[in-house]
């Protein structure tokens, strides 16, 4: 069975082409090493050094004294040449010829079958093909190599070895090796093999891997290029090129090449997996999720793929969908740091379960107190809690982080101070952020602080800068509309808010626009209508609840004041804006002032 699932694969000349080949040839041309002539598959003739190989075991009835015997010897030479060529097509064609000539039970056939099986399974594991059992003669030299490979040991060939396969097969033990010291002994043997047979992809591909793993990317690209010029079917060399392109920051070029390989080999697991990993590393979460789901369809219990897919789902806000891959992965490695962090995010954002999220973060921090991301997340959740003891713990954790603050720590300190309406303190934390990075969030915080200090002109300047930078950013639009209202620019504010109410999806966002429009109402009835519309979209909209408290207080409707005040206090009992109302209506609320 070949790359397209068919058992019979005829030999054919393969032309270089496509993105990976184009990228490679461009890189090689820059080095002055491009060869003009196209390199076809090697001819089905053995090299001179193999001329003394013994004839194969003959099918029953063959007589060495008859002309048919020489034809059988020619078949052996063709089979060996196909095997040494080392491409998936040549290996499977060799397998077909062994079967057609009924050589699979003799010493030669068993030996070649074993070589083919080891090469297909280790070099081309993504190719789906029916392979015979690997049952080489126990006394054959290759069998010693196979035993060493299975044990992960490099079986160095003899210094005088002149058998191509004897020189390249030991490297199968090092295909996953990353230690340059362990790889180094193979370099000389592969160089000798490359000189013996310049028509095989195996030696240049293996040497490319060796140089890539040893940090010699330029040399690796040249060797991968040599393998691809010999045959574009050596797709592992193309995968190597993609890895190097990605490592050099040419991420989109690498992905384009991998997509081309996926189109050529749609059923190849290895190609699919590397493409999924490239999307994942590029943080292209939508495409990563699709590619990872396809890879998991073939191997549903692949731990790294499960965790990566869960991560891609969480980053897209699909928290509940991430639960299933996380559940499966949790049975494999429940203390993996990324797994615990994703669990925390799912509990926090998907289930609104702050305590469960904190439990996962505490497990991370117990094993690594210096985990900044987990500490920041835990501090944020604690500070957002309605419980005084949680807030105290959060402030303590934040205080420790501020001893050696990163921009992320400073940003949290700004937001915590804003929450307490400690405007001057927040301004102190924000100043270096505005000076050094001036992000959209920094501008939004600047708007909130200046507005809190009563500096409406400065607040308008920050909100306008954010709106001009990101005109589709709803947080920025909401801030800009609010300060337009505060500074008396009612007409512009109404145009913006009416347009956004129509465009905004239902829920929290639409609720905030209704609350803003209520501030533009001509009378209490219109204001109340907009605030009720806001609460219909989001019953927990604190600003709308507080505004209704103020409206009904103005109308001396104590029953409704207390009703909406109770709802607001249930959401944010320590909110500074509620302190006055809590004190004034303490008797009706049944609480202490």
pLDDT exceeds cutoff 50 at 2: no
Residue 559 in any domain: the answer is: no
pLDDT > 70: percent of the chain: 88
CATH of the domain at 55: 1.25.40.10
> Does 213 lie in the same domain as 292?
no
> Does 298 lie in the same domain as 266?
no
Give the mean pLDDT of the chain. Answer: 88
Residue 385 in any domain: the answer is: no
Residue 460 in any domain: the answer is: no
For 369-403, what is the HEC assignment? CCCHHHHHHHHHHHHHCCCHHHHHHHHHHHHHHCC
**What's the confidence (pLDDT) of residue 521?**
82
pLDDT exceeds cutoff 80 at 34: no
Residue 585 vs residue 592, higher pLDDT: 585
Structure tokens at 265: 């080999």
pLDDT exceeds cutoff 60 at 516: yes
> Does 321 lie in the same domain as 234?
no
For 56-112, what is the HEC assignment? CCCCCCCCCCCHHHHHHHHHHHHHHHHHHHCCHHHHHHHHHHHHHCCCCCCHHHHHH
Please give the tally of structural domains in the chain.
Answer: 2
pLDDT exceeds cutoff 50 at 384: yes
Contact 265, 257 (CB under 8 A): no
Contact 219, 192 (CB under 8 A): no
Residue 424 in any domain: the answer is: no
> Does 244 lie in the same domain as 316?
no
Residue 146 in any domain: the answer is: yes
> Does 248 lie in the same domain as 148?
yes
- Among 68-72, 167-171, 335-339, 566-570, which is the least confidently predicted range? 68-72
Structure tokens at 53: 């190989």
Residue 482 vs residue 64, higher pLDDT: 482
Residue 380 in any domain: the answer is: no
- Among 28-37, 108-117, 372-381, which is the least confidently predicted range? 28-37
> Does 249 lie in the same domain as 311?
no
pLDDT exceeds cutoff 70 at 65: no
Residue 82 in any domain: the answer is: yes
pLDDT > 90: percent of the chain: 81
Contact 231, 87 (CB under 8 A): yes
Supply the range of the domain harboring residue 319. Answer: 283-334
> Does 326 lie in the same domain as 241?
no
Q: Which of 279, 309, 344 is the last residue of a domain?
A: 279
> Does 272 lie in the same domain as 178?
yes
> Does 153 lie in the same domain as 11?
yes
Phi-psi region of 230 (alpha: psi -120 to 50; beta: other; left: phi over 0): alpha
Q: How far is 111 from 432, CA to CA, in rounded Å?
A: 71
pLDDT in tens, 331-349: 999 999 999 999 999 999 9
**What's the confidence (pLDDT) of residue 53?**
40
> Does 289 lie in the same domain as 269?
no
> Does 296 lie in the same domain as 262?
no
Give the sign of the dihedral formed by CA 287, CA 290, CA 292, CA 294.
negative
Residue 150 in any domain: the answer is: yes
> Does 132 lie in the same domain as 60?
yes
């Amino acid at each position: 069975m070949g790359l397209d699932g068919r058992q019979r694969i005829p030999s054919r000349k393969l032309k270089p082409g496509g993105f990976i080949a184009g990228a490679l040839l461009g890189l090689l041309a820059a080095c002055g090493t491009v060869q003009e002539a196209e390199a076809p598959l090697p001819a089905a003739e053995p090299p001179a050094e193999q001329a003394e190989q013994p004839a194969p075991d003959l099918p029953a009835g063959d007589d060495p004294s008859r002309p048919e015997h020489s034809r059988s010897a020619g078949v052996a030479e063709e089979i060996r040449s196909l095997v040494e060529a080392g491409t998936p097509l040549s290996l499977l064609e060799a397998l077909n010829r062994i079967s057609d000539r009924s050589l699979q039970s003799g010493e030669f056939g068993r030996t070649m079958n074993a070589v083919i099986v080891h090469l297909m399974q280790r070099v081309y594991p993504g190719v789906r093909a029916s392979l015979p059992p690997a049952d080489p003669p126990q006394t054959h030299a290759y069998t010693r190599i196979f035993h060493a490979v299975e044990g992960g040991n490099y079986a160095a060939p003899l210094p005088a070895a002149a058998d191509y396969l004897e020189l390249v097969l030991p490297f199968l033990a090092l295909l996953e090796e990353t230690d340059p010291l362990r790889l180094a002994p193979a370099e000389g043997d592969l160089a000798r093999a490359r000189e013996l047979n310049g028509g095989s992809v195996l030696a240049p591909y293996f040497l490319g891997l060796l140089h890539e793993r040893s940090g010699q990317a330029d040399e690796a690209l040249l060797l991968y290029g040599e393998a691809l010029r010999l045959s574009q079917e050596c797709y592992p060399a193309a995968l190597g090129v993609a890895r190097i392109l990605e490592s050099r920051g040419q991420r989109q070029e690498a992905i384009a090449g991998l997509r081309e390989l996926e189109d050529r080999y749609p059923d190849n697991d290895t190609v699919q997996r590397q493409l999924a990993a490239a999307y994942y590393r590029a943080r292209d979460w939508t495409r990563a999720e699709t590619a990872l789901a396809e890879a998991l369809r073939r191997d549903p219990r692949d731990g790294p793929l499960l965790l990566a897919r869960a991560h891609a789902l969480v980053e897209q806000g699909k928290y509940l969908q991430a639960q299933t891959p996380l559940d499966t992965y949790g049975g494999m490695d429940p203390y993996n740091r990324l797994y615990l962090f994703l669990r925390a995010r799912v509990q926090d954002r998907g289930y609104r379960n702050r305590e469960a999220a904190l439990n996962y973060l505490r497990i991370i921090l117990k094993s690594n107190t210096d985990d900044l991301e987990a500490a920041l997340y835990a501090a944020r959740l604690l500070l957002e809690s309605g419980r005084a003891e949680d807030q105290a713990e959060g402030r303590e954790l934040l205080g420790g982080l501020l001893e050696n603050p990163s921009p992320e720590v400073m940003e949290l300190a700004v937001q915590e101070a804003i929450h307490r309406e400690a405007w001057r303190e927040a301004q102190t934390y924000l100043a270096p952020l505005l000076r050094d990075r001036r992000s959209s969030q920094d501008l939004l915080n600047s708007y909130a602080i200046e507005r809190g200090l009563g500096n409406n002109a400065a607040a308008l300047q920050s909100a306008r800068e954010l709106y001009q930078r990101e005109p589709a950013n709803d947080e920025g639009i909401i801030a800009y509309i609010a300060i337009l209202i505060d500074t008396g620019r009612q007409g512009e504010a109404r145009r913006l808010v009416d347009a956004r109410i129509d465009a905004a999806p239902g829920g929290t966002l639409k609720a905030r626009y209704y609350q803003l429009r209520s501030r533009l109402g001509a009378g209490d009835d219109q204001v109340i209508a907009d605030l009720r519309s806001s609460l219909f979209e989001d019953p927990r909209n604190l600003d709308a609840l507080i505004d209704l408290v103020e409206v009904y207080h103005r109308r001396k409707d104590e029953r409704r004041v207390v009703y909406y005040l109770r709802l607001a206090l249930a959401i944010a009992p320590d909110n500074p804006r509620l302190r006055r109302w809590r004190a004034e209506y303490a008797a009706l609320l049944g609480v202490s002032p």
